[in-house]
């Protein structure tokens, strides 16, 4: 520290302006300000979340009801109320209700490890918590949780009379990383947040639309969620799926006219890179007036570029600890700011002092510890009087208001411009991506991992490129991937190290303690450089080499990463994924999104993504490709179809799929033909084994040893199915008819992902039909009703939508192209074609065995069985058993029915309620509402639930919930006229489907069978 005496120092002014508060009777707390807005503008929108809104009046009245419920359930004014709510309208609703009940609250992340949740809840001394429909069941079970749903909460005009808080009362708490190895809980009062909010209104104005960018467990979320409600604005809350997607953030800002939000500087830098890379996104931010930054050092170049790109948007640096009501030092950046960005000046009614080790004030240009004082100061730490006394000391300075000062541990200095600047830390505390981390807390958890003998964590990188690195002394068998997986079960996501580096021993200081600075130097020396893998973007790099170099740049993987290693196993985060997407765009010119990369998490998959030009997402681009794919080579001669001959040899694709294997069984039973089945497998023996396994699964009496079954190993999505040219021609010569049942069925995959099997495979079927000598072979193509537009006015079997009418799912689009190609082949080449469009194909009426791939109804039924619940719905569908469908198609193939399109569905729709009811009886299911079911699906992290939650519509009013829109009902008798006319002529029996069949379906699921993605590819 400086040796100057106080008399020779120029002491800077450490105080913000002194500004009086409103009359305590009119606006005593934040609650009063929000209630005033509710009275003045009850019909104005206050909250927006995922398409749902709450007005000020609706929010206020629901909060009154919830406040009364909290008091009835034993919530106390002296005990923090845990909020097990991460997002949704229930989050600010619960905060407001707690205020009305006079109860302080503390946000929890329901995704934290369960043991952490239980431990922290135990420290609070309460068993009562608030949850929402989206709170995972595991988190709900950790407390006596009052589950709140804004849609079903009654409205009450008056708040509980006894609940009003005063300014000195405890308002809220937040957990921050603790030096003892356990989190510490900071405590703040109403006075502090009121001062912060009133200052923001004076500085930024009223009526703002804020976007909640911060997660609820960080105190910056408070101003984003509550401040706009004190000044007539509104709050937009994004739906959180654990993925940082800045393009989606930009879209939300544009859609909702967001005027103010904040970013951690590391994320802000990536946003600027995105705006520079995608000029179209800049216009989307035209509503944005203010961006607040805080939590870590700011990239000066990023700020300058941002101000150049969006000169109408102001950027403000904010500084302040959680212990002092979010932040109490502000600075709005200007063109005159140099290479160092100041923290700024204390806000109104607060102080920021720089002192030496003896708590003497330091002068301009002198570096010391930053102390915070004034009206934003909190109470200290819950249940930790000694820690509180150490951090919050008496104020010895007569010209600085307030009785206490908080020691931040940050080093800083005032400069000649009168502003405060950050210099460094006084202790070991770390900052990574804006999150405050005490090494002891992380190290304590990591020592519990198998084989770990000693561990220390340090930060590598600078400014917005920092990462948390764990140096581990461990047994020889130490596995970094396993360690990271284990750490995720013990620590919040933000505290899990980005890299784990084995070391033989820890460097020690002369006093025998771990030398963190020496350790940081050691790890920096061992960190792989990008040059080790070749510089990304170098001419001659293969896509794989380029991706590997980017991994090294972003994650420091070096040559450790194999082509099939997972990005996240090397410590990747959503932020590094976003950076990777931008770097891949810059490097290759290929536009990829973070969601593309989430579906391609290995070096190999990402290289393939770049090599094929990225994922096709643009609707217009997809439609252009659909039309191009539907075109066939021109042929000058037309071969007229010949009369059908005796059926001797059938070529069947998709014979191991759900419908295909039942169709194979039907063809063998009702014809004398041999059937060649295309099966995708590594070798001939595996192909036969796969066919046999599927037959056993569906309890069908067939085997590959049958002399009438020919198993052909091949791949539907490759040229000539992967057969040699001669073998392909021989197959064409002996084929009398083709039944094309093969397709990859996945409701989530995009067009490009399904194109090889569903489009190119159909092209090869046409090639086979025209191959060899003689006229074209007839093709019986199994298609789907999913290619028809929903809501179409009573379509019949002649309906073929235009490309613009096809539903925007990859499966629907690829099946449309397949039909278009076959129709074109019929016109150009005289190819005899019949099309069979199926709806929801259900299990066999005799066996009741569900498919491997799983249809939508099966997903819902399976989820209900696994969750132990069912719900009421008015959804109906054209459910048709697979034996009905296969019996009809086999009869049509036998009879040579060509040139016709059939909608192969029952005329009488089936209620999904009837199926669910039978399952409820069989499994003893508990009835819940659809919103509860939807929440439970989202909370269960299994492959089935993850798939289903992306398909299910969000809950809505009544029993419909939009679920009926996912199923197609029979619209009119004309819808399947061709099908039922042929049924009558060939005397195929479709027995009614009712309770007896449903009972067999339910029985077949005991024990539940795993749902595996086969997709029906032959």
Q: What is the pLDDT of residues 462-485, one digit of tens each?
A: 655 677 888 888 877 777 778 878
SS3 376: coil
pLDDT at 406: 96
Distance CA 799, CA 228 (A): 52
Q: In 3D, which of 305, 314, 306, 318 has the Cα closest to residue 334?
A: 314
Q: Best-predicted range by mean pLDDT among 445-459, 658-672, 765-779, 939-953?
A: 658-672
Examine residue 811 and state whether it is found in any structural domain, yes or no.
yes
How is residue 858 written in tokens? 């099966």
Q: pLDDT of 414-472, one tens digit each?
A: 999 999 998 887 777 777 766 778 777 788 788 888 878 788 888 877 655 677 888 88
Whole-angstrom CA distances from 114 to 109, 142, 198, 442, 890 are 10, 8, 38, 17, 54
d(CA 878, CA 378): 62
Selected residue with higher pLDDT from 131 and 625: 131
Residue (of 141, 121, 146, 118) closest to 131 by Cα position: 146
Q: How many domains does the chain have?
A: 3
Question: For residue 565, what are the domain limits?
Answer: 543-617
**What does the pLDDT average to over 243-253?**
84
* 322-336, 465-479, 534-548, 565-579: least confident range: 534-548
Q: What is the pLDDT of residue 1?
A: 35
Q: 0.75 exceeded by the pTM?
A: no
Same domain? For 547 and 518 the reply is no
Instruction: Note whether residue 19 is domain-resident.
Output: no
Q: Is residue 163 part of a domain?
A: no
**In a shared domain, residues 807 and 690:** yes
Does residue 706 fall inside a structural domain?
A: yes
CA dist 315 and 307 (Å) reads 8
For residue 265, pLDDT over 80 is answered with: yes
Instruction: Examine residue 498 and state whether it is found in any structural domain, yes or no.
Output: yes
Structural domain contains residue 185: no
**Residue 349 placed within a domain:** no
Q: Are residues 692 and 601 in the same domain?
A: no
Given 460, 491, 522, the domain boundary residue is: 522
Q: Report, in angstroms and rounded to the nearest whole number, the Rg of the chain calculated over CA atoms.
A: 33
CATH of the domain at 448: 3.30.300.30
Are residue 661 and residue 769 in the same domain, yes or no? yes
| Domain assignment present for 752 | yes
In tens, the pLDDT along 317-327 reads: 999 999 999 98
**Lookup result for tokens 């194999």:** 562
List the 128-131 sheet strands across, edge first: 144-147, 128-131, 81-84, 105-107, 170-176, 184-189, 380-381
In this structure, what are the phi and psi dihedrals at residue 562, rounded to the nearest 5 degrees?
A: -85, 160
Burial of 599 (0-12, 13-18, 19+ CB in 10 A): middle
Query: What share of the chain in percent tops pLDDT 70?
Result: 86
pLDDT given at position 529: 42
Looking at the structure, tell me whether residues 698 and 765 fall in a common domain: yes
Please indicate, yes or no, whether residues 680 and 733 belong to a single structural domain of this protein: yes
Residues facing residue 172 across a β-bridge: 105, 188
63 and 90 in contact (C-beta within 8 Å)? no
Residue 894 CB neighbours (<10 A): 19
Contacts (Cβ under 8 Å, ≥6 apart) of 279: none
**Co-location of 842 and 771 in the same domain:** yes
Mean pLDDT score, 505-526: 70
Dihedral sign computed on CA atoms, order 860, 861, 862, 863: positive
């Amino acid at each position: 520290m400086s040796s100057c005496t106080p008399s020779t120092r120029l002491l800077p002014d450490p105080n913000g302006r002194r500004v009086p508060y409103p009359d305590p009777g009119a606006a005593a707390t934040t609650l009063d300000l929000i209630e005033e807005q509710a009275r003045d503008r009850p019909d104005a929108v206050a909250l927006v979340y995922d398409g749902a809104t709450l007005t000020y009046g609706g929010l206020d009245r629901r909060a009154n009801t919830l406040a009364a419920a909290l008091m009835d359930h034993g919530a106390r004014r002296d005990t923090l109320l845990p909020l097990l709510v991460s997002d949704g309208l229930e989050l600010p609703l619960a905060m407001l209700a707690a205020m009305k009940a006079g109860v302080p609250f503390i946000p929890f992340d329901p995704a934290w490890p369960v043991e952490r949740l239980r431990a922290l809840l135990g420290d609070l001394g309460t068993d009562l918590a608030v949850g929402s429909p989206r709170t995972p069941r595991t988190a709900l079970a950790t407390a006596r949780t009052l589950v709140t749903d804004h849609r079903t909460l009654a409205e009450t005009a008056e708040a509980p009379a006894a609940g009003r808080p005063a300014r000195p009362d405890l308002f809220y708490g937040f957990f921050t990383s603790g030096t003892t190895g356990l989190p510490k809980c900071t405590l703040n009062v109403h006075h502090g947040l009121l001062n912060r909010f009133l200052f923001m209104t004076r500085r930024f104005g009223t009526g703002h639309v804020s976007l909640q960018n911060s997660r609820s467990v960080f105190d910056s979320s408070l101003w984003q969620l509550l401040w706009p409600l004190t000044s007539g604005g509104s709050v937009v809350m994004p739906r959180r799926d654990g993925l940082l997607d800045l393009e989606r953030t930009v879209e939300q800002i544009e859609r909702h006219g967001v005027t103010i939000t904040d970013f951690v500087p590391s994320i802000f830098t990536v946003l600027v890179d995105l705006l520079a890379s995608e000029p179209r996104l800049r216009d989307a931010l035209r509503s944005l007036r203010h961006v607040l930054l805080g939590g870590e050092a700011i990239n000066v170049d990023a700020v300058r570029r941002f101000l150049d790109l969006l000169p109408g948007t102001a950027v403000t640096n904010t500084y302040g600890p959680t212990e002092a009501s979010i932040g109490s030092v502000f600075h709005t950046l200007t063109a005159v700011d140099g290479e160092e960005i100041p923290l700024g000046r204390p806000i109104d009614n607060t102080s920021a002092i720089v002192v030496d080790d003896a708590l003497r004030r330091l002068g301009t240009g002198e570096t010391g510890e930053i102390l915070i004082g004034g009206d934003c100061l909190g109470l200290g730490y819950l249940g930790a009087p000694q820690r509180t006394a150490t951090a919050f000391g008496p104020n010895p300075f007569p010209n600085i208001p307030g009785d206490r000062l908080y020691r931040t541990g940050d080093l800083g200095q005032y400069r000649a411009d009168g502003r405060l600047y950050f210099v460094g830390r006084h202790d070991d505390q770390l900052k990574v991506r804006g999150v405050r981390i005490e090494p002891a807390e992380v190290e304590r958890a990591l020592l519990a991992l198998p084989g770990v003998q000693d561990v220390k964590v340090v930060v590598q990188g600078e400014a917005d490129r920092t990462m948390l690195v764990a140096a581990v002394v461990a047994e020889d068998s130490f596995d970094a991937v396993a360690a990271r997986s284990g750490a995720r079960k013990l620590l919040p996501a933000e505290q899990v190290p980005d890299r784990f580096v084995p070391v033989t021993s820890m460097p020690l200081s002369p006093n025998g303690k771990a030398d963190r600075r020496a350790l940081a130097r050691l790890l920096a020396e061992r960190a792989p450089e990008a040059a080790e893998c070749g510089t990304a973007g170098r001419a001659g790099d293969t896509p794989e080499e380029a991706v590997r170099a980017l991994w090294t740049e972003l994650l420091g993987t070096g040559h450790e990463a194999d082509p099939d290693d997972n990005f996240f196993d090397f410590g990747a985060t959503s932020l590094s994924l976003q950076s990777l997407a931008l770097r891949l765009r810059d490097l290759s010119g290929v536009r990829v999104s973070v969601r593309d990369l989430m579906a391609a998490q290995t070096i190999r998959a990402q290289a393939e993504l770049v090599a094929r030009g990225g994922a096709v997402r643009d609707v217009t681009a997809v439609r252009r490709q659909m039309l191009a794919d539907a075109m066939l080579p021109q042929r000058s001669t037309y071969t007229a179809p010949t009369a059908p001959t005796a059926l001797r040899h059938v070529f069947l694709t998709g014979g191991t799929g759900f419908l295909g294997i039942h169709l194979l069984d039907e063809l063998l039973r009702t014809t004398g033909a041999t059937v060649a089945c295309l099966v995708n497998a590594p070798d001939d023996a595996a192909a036969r084994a796969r066919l046999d396994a599927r037959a056993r699964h569906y309890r069908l009496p067939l085997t590959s040893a049958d002399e009438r079954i020919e198993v052909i190993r091949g791949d539907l999505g490759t040229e000539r199915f992967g057969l040699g040219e001669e073998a392909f021609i021989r197959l064409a010569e002996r084929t009398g008819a083709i039944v094309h049942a093969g397709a990859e069925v996945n409701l989530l995959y995009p067009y490009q992902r399904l194109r090889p099997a569903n489009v190119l495979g159909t092209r090869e079927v046409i090639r086979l039909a025209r191959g060899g000598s003689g006229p074209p072979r007839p093709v019986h193509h199994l298609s789907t009703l999913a290619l028809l537009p929903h809501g179409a006015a009573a379509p019949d079997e002649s309906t073929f939508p235009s490309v613009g009418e096809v539903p925007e799912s990859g499966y629907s689009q690829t099946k449309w192209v397949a039909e278009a190609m076959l129709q074109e082949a019929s016109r150009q080449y005289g190819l005899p074609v019949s099309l069979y469009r199926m709806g929801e194909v259900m299990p066999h009426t005799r066996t009741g065995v569900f498919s491997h791939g799983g249809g939508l109804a099966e997903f819902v039924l399976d989820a209900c069985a696994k969750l132990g619940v069912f719900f009421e719905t008015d959804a109906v569908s054209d459910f048709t058993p697979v034996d009905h469908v296969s019996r009809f198609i086999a009869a049509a193939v036998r009879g040579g029915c060509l040139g016709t399109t059939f909608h192969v569905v029952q005329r009488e729709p089936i209620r999904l309620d009837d199926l669910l009811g039978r399952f409820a009886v069989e499994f003893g299911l508990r009835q819940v509402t659809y919103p509860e079911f939807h929440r439970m699906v989202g909370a269960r992290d299994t492959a089935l639930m993850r798939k289903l939650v992306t398909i299910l519509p969000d809950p809505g009013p009544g029993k419909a919930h939009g679920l009926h829109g996912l199923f197609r009902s029979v619209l009119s008798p004309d819808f399947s006229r061709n099908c039922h006319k042929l049924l009558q002529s060939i005397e195929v029996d479709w027995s009614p489907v009712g309770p007896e069949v449903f009972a067999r379906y339910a029985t077949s699921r005991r024990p539940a069978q795993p749902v595996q993605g086969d997709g029906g590819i032959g």
